[in-house]
A and B are shown apart, each in its own frame.
Chain A
């Protein structure tokens, strides 16, 4: 990896609280442009909270307070004037698939529509491209009119990915995207992600340590709200041990 890669997201002294509870405490790290940045850590370690803060979803979460700075492309997200334009640049995929109760087509066309695209041909193009990218096109191309919320779980998850891509994001946040997807589909999506790295920066939160190892260029290890370590992924797995807790976690000897 290039040592002086361009910084996409700079996190500085980030603390996230829910009321009195601290979900993330004073973490700092950089996410580089065009990398897949993995975040691993046990349940409740603050991974999802970080993604929410990055997307400024604290606005919709009562009790969530964010301190410190998250700088995206040189601008602090807390000072972003138009939050909607910020969120449009960031695609998010949730742990549980959310097919909106709209047609498959409208699910993917929604973001472009919100951005003001009206031309049918343009929308058609976006829908097909994103569904293909998300490895879903072949399964749904004959029923674009059926409800997205009634697809199978794995299909809905790929629909969610297609929807995130339809925003034409330059940052893609994936939160444990594969817990509702079968292994074959997971592999197909992983291949897509590797290709996407050329165009977007990807933050991959995952409970599957091996998935981080397969995909991530660099990986951060969160533990109960603390950033234990961030390093080149292979370094984390096989390099000299810097923090025994990381090694224990990635090797499955934990707790």
Chain B
């Protein structure tokens, strides 16, 4: 009854083939990453130095370092975070803990999905209209960061909502049954157990924000500035913009320079992603139920 039949052998052979096929696809995924990284390191690596990170661009951006764009990106990301995290987390808490299933909730959820699908250049135009012109922030860090914040809001909301959902409903019911209000339940039991997932989402957002060019191009990132921004109403240089500018618009840039800038930018993103992955692994190891 259990001897191998022809059919049996055949399905086993197919199983093997399918497995190899899928494995190849998975391996192909890492190829582009490896090639990009390899090229960047090979060509941009020699440019990197402490001085590269700590001196501003000079000679019409054909020499010097990247201090100003680097600091500018930190500004942009920080202000964007300050704007988007409270709003995103609050919205997600409302949606997953309070919102009844009615048309308003459905419209909001639809809006979030669509917000995530809007191309970044459209966000840029929205940013110009809303923040630069309507709110009269001018082209400034504030306008650019708010544009970035709107663009990355869906990431924060979705990450927060997912981590809130990962806290079992039974915990909430137990609290409600004791006479706890929704907010008491969220504060004592839900948030402490969801905070790690939320942080992971935030870190992911940072890495996305740092690399964006289009949304900041018309709203606050400058082609070149000979000084650091002094406040949120100043314009600033930014890494992604700087890379774009020196690769396309400035004559006489040494060939290796853009690779160096790109390498720094991608390292920032990778470090953030690694942090986020490491964080998640650390938390997964620390089971709480």
Cα-based distance from A62 to B169 in the complex (angstroms): 14
Q: Which residues of chain A have C-beta atoms less than 8 A from B173's C-beta?
A: 57, 60, 94, 98
Does A88 lie within 8 Å of B179, measured CB to CB? yes
CB-CB contacts below 8 Å: B165-207 with A: 170-181, 184, 188-189, 192-193
Point out which of B174, B175, B193, B288 has the most chain A C-beta atoms below 10 A from its C-beta: B174
Does B178 lie within 8 Å of A163, measured CB to CB? yes
Kindly specify which of A79-87, A217-225, A231-239 makes contact with the partner chain. Answer: A79-87
Does B189 lie within 8 Å of A87, measured CB to CB? no
* A162 CB to nearest chain B CB (Å): 12
A102 within 8 A of B: yes
Does B178 lie within 8 Å of A87, measured CB to CB? yes
Cα-based distance from A108 to B147 in the complex (angstroms): 47
Check A114/B193 contact, CB under 8 A, given A98-B170, A101-B288, A150-B289. no
Check A87/B176 contact, CB under 8 A, given A110-B188, A149-B288. yes
CB-CB contacts below 8 Å: A155-184 with B: 160, 163-164, 167
Does A110 lie within 8 Å of B178, measured CB to CB? yes
Interface size, A (range): 20 to 34
* A85 CB to nearest chain B CB (Å): 7
Does B289 lie within 8 Å of A149, measured CB to CB? yes
Q: Which residues of chain A have C-beta atoms less than 8 A from B193's C-beta?
A: 101
Q: Which residues of chain B have C-beta atoms less than 8 A from A96's C-beta?
A: 170
Cα-based distance from A163 to B175 in the complex (angstroms): 10
Partner pick for A167 among B100, B170, B178, B287, CB 8 A cutoff: B178
Partner pick for B179 among A62, A84, A98, CB 8 A cutoff: A84
Partner pick for B177 among A57, A102, A149, A150, CB 8 A cutoff: A57
Check A84/B101 contact, CB under 8 A, given A60-B173, A98-B174, A149-B288. no
Q: Which residues of chain B have C-beta atoms less than 8 A from A90's C-beta?
A: 177
Does B178 lie within 8 Å of A111, measured CB to CB? yes
- Which 8 pairs show the lowest CB-CB distances between chains A and B? A88-B179, A87-B179, A149-B289, A84-B179, A92-B177, A101-B288, A98-B174, A98-B170
What are 29 A-B contacts with C-beta separation under 8 Å? A57-B173, A60-B176, A62-B101, A83-B179, A84-B179, A84-B181, A87-B176, A87-B179, A88-B178, A88-B179, A94-B174, A96-B170, A98-B173, A98-B174, A99-B289, A100-B174, A101-B171, A101-B288, A101-B289, A110-B178, A110-B188, A111-B178, A111-B179, A114-B179, A114-B184, A147-B289, A149-B288, A150-B288, A167-B178
